[in-house]
Amino acid sequence: MADDKDVLRDVWFGRIPTCFTLNQDEVTEREAEPYYLLLPRVSYLTLVTDKVKKHFLKVMRAEDVEEMWFEYEGTPLKWHYPIGVLFDLHASNNVLPWSITVHFKNFPDHDLLHCPSNSVIEAHFMSSIKEADALKHKSQVVNDMQKKDHKQLWMGLQNDKFDQFWAMNRKLMEYPTEDGGFRYIPFRIYQTMSDRPFIQKLFRPVSPEGSAHSLGDLLKEMYPDAITNDGEQKRYQVVIHGIEPLLETPLQWLSEHLSHPDNFLHICVIPLTHQPAG
């Protein structure tokens, strides 16, 4: 008799065991030990890697250090995506711990945003929440909040305080019962092999006929290839928070329970590599 509340907790406390190694090309005074850390799936790389930075700075000369950035198997990791999304998208089918390479020079300006301080992350996080609320409630809820309420959301994420965060975030998850859900579902669909960063369109939780839309309904409209038709071999995994919900799962429920703290439902569509059919 599990409770839906437990889902929120599981989502929040999701951790990815990660091994940080310093890029071979960095100049060091002595050999850098790898650094092991449990990263919160719902947080951002640059927000939770102070310890990593400190660890590697110990073996480096100050003049060799520029802005820190991360790379996995040749792909620079965008800090402004939630950590869980990066992992699911790039590394989910590989062995754990997740092995991330740390760089201190040659910042890939065309791939990554700069992140000089936590206030940049905060600005990004808050703008996501506002965008999501614009979709859900025409911004009414977020605009009714006070400055300190916004701060509470951010501090909750930054300090990994589930209770603090959800005490405020639950307001963002409310909707009038007669509507049957939010106005639009804030979602983003990520794919590995695409030039587009992600798919984001307007999509309602309830069909004009009044029936609840499911995850499958969303994908059918946004990304039909992701759906396995009868008789076909499964080509894509649809992953949210490292799990594959059934396509009949109601979208509204997903948005309430499996959204990231930024209030978006981040969906990763990952191609399956099949053995060529013999």
Partner 1 sequence: MPVSLLWAVDVYGRVYSLSTAGQQWEQCRDAQMEFKRVTAAQQCCWGIACDNNIYLNVHASDLPVRYQEETYENQRWNPVDGFSERLLPSDRWQWSDVTGLQHQPLDSFQLPSSSWEWEGDWYVDENFEGEPTEKGGWSYAIDFPATYTKDKKWNSCVRRRRWLRYRRYKAMDTWAKIPSQQTTLPDPFSDISCGGWEISEEPRGRLSLWAVSLQGKVWFRDGIYHHNPEGSLWEEVFLPGEVIQISCGPGDLVWAVLWEGQLIVREGISRDCPKGSSWAVVESPSPDVGAIHVAVGINVVWAVTKDNKVWFRRGVNSHNPCGSGWIGMVGEMITINVGLNDQVWAINCEDRAVYFRQGVTSSELSGKTWKAITVPRDGDRSHSSFSFLSTLDSAGCYFCGEVRAQSVVSDAESDTEKGSADGESIPGEGEVKAPCAGSALSPSQSGGPLDPQWSNVDLEEAQQAQTVAVQDTADTCSLSSVATYTLAMEDPYGADEHPLWAWVSGGGCSVDSHSQLNWFNFSMNTLVSSVQSMSLSVSPAQTAAWRRQIFEQLSERTKREMDNFRHYEQAVEQSVWVKKGTMQWWRDWKPHKWIDVHFALEQFSGPDGNKDGILFIYYNYYEEKKYLHAFINEVTILVPVLNDSKHTFAIYTPERTKQRWPIRLAAATELEMHDWLALLSVSCCDSRGIHGPPSKQAIWSITCKGDIFISEPSPGLEAMPYPTPCDQMFWRQVGGHLRVVECNSVGIVWGIGYDHTAWVHTGGYGGGFFQGLASSTDNIYTQTDVKSVYIYENQRWNPVTGYTNRYCTLLRLEFTKRVVSDWAIDYSVSGGTDREGWQFAADFPASYHGYKTMKDFVRRRRWARKCKLTTTGPWQEIPPIPLSDVTILPCTAQSSVDVIPVWAISNKGDVLCRLGVTALTPAGSSWLHVGTDQPFKSISIGAASQVWAIARDGSAFYRGSVSARSPAGDCWYHIPSPAKQKLKQVSVGRTSVYTVDENGNLWYRQGVTPSYPQGSSWEHISNNVRKVSVGPLDQVWIIADKVQGSHSLSCGTVCHRLGVQPVEPKGQSWDYGIGGGWDHITVRGNSVEPPRLRLPSLTDPSSRSPVPVRNTEVNGVGN
Q: Please count the CA atoms within 13 angstroms of the CA of 187 that sit on its side-chain side.
A: 31
Q: Min. distance of Cβ 267 from partner 1 in angstroms?
A: 14
Q: Min. distance of Cβ 121 from partner 1 in angstroms?
A: 13
Distance CA 108, CA 23 (A): 14
Distance CA 142, CA 150 (A): 8
Q: Min. distance of Cβ 206 from partner 1 in angstroms?
A: 11
Q: Min. distance of Cβ 187 from partner 1 in angstroms?
A: 17
* 3-state DSSP assignment of residue 57: helix
Q: Min. distance of Cβ 94 from partner 1 in angstroms?
A: 12
Distance CA 172, CA 190 (A): 24
Interaction site with partner 1 (CB under 8 A): 1-7, 9-11, 14-17, 36-40, 43, 48-49, 51, 96-97, 158-160, 162-163, 166-167, 177-178, 210, 241-246, 248-250, 257-258
Between 118-137 and 147-158, two packed helices, what is the crossing angle to 10 degrees?
Answer: 120
The CA dihedral of 117, 55, 98, 119, to the nearest 10 degrees, is -10
Cβ neighbours, 10 Å, residue 106: 11
Q: Given the complex with partner 1, which of 17 and 197 has the nearer CB atom?
A: 17
Between 4-12 and 162-172, two packed helices, what is the crossing angle to 10 degrees?
Answer: 120
Q: Given the complex with partner 1, which of 56 and 166 has the nearer CB atom?
A: 166
Q: Given the complex with partner 1, which of 7 and 145 has the nearer CB atom?
A: 7
Q: Min. distance of Cβ 215 from partner 1 in angstroms?
A: 8
Distance CA 137, CA 134 (A): 6
* Enclosing H/E stretch for 101: strand 98-103
Distance CA 278, CA 266 (A): 35
Q: Given the complex with partner 1, which of 162 and 223 has the nearer CB atom?
A: 162
Q: Please count the CA atoms within 13 angstroms of the CA of 68 that sit on its side-chain side.
A: 23
Distance CA 265, CA 205 (A): 13
Q: Given the complex with partner 1, which of 178 and 230 has the nearer CB atom?
A: 178
Q: Given the complex with partner 1, which of 112 and 247 has the nearer CB atom?
A: 247
Q: Given the complex with partner 1, which of 117 and 194 has the nearer CB atom?
A: 117
Q: Min. distance of Cβ 63 from partner 1 in angstroms?
A: 28
